[in-house]
Chain A
């Protein structure tokens, strides 16, 4: 069965520190996709990144970077030089195809609440 585990329920750091959010997944599919979403205090869900199972290249977007390692089934998210505006709940998600093979349903982790203190 597919499963996503975000073991860190809450992380609190001081502004400008680097912070890594962990995501471990389980799947038997050979083709799958991994996602990170951000949910700021205002409540909306914001898509951050999608990574497919065939591409293990790390990705960097400004202060955000993602480390995908199939060997350890992990897709970790690092924020460098954190800022107060990064405070949010971050969700990792895994997608699988449905029985029709054409849609991908998301399996969600429970989320990590990140608190950045000034």
Chain B
């Protein structure tokens, strides 16, 4: 258990509305990630954070923004949701092993449907 929670777990919204997903961790990890999972694509990185107020774009960042004002919380915002953003969203933290290798551990996911 990596101590990661995501909220909400399920959300249905309408096209054009703003949506914010929250990821909360309890272990004070520096790196946090947001991925989306779609059939046939595996997971694709949206944004990641390497510290408070330090974020960077991933592979599929268009239409998404993130914020990290506290170590424990990483927020993903869809400013104006579109149907193409219907997906399952996973948050992850990166836990470093004694060898310095990072392994990512995932939250339970949020299923977002945009009508």
Binding site for B on A (CB under 8 A): 4, 33, 35, 43-45, 47, 50, 52, 91, 93, 95, 98, 100, 102-106, 108-111
Contacts and interface: CB of A to CB of B under 8 A. Distances in A.
Contacts, number: 51
Contacts of A4: 42
B19 to A, nearest CB: 19
B50 to A, nearest CB: 6
7 contacts: A45-B106, A95-B102, A102-B50, A103-B48, A103-B94, A104-B94, A110-B41
Interface string B53-67: 000101000000000
B33 to A, nearest CB: 8
B44 interface: yes
Interface string B89-113: 0100010010101111110110000
A91 B43 CA distance: 9
| A-B pairs, 3 with minimum CB distance | A108-B42, A45-B106, A108-B43
A75 B107 CA distance: 25
Contacts of A108: 42-44
Contact of B101 (A50, A100, A106): A50
B61 to A, nearest CB: 13
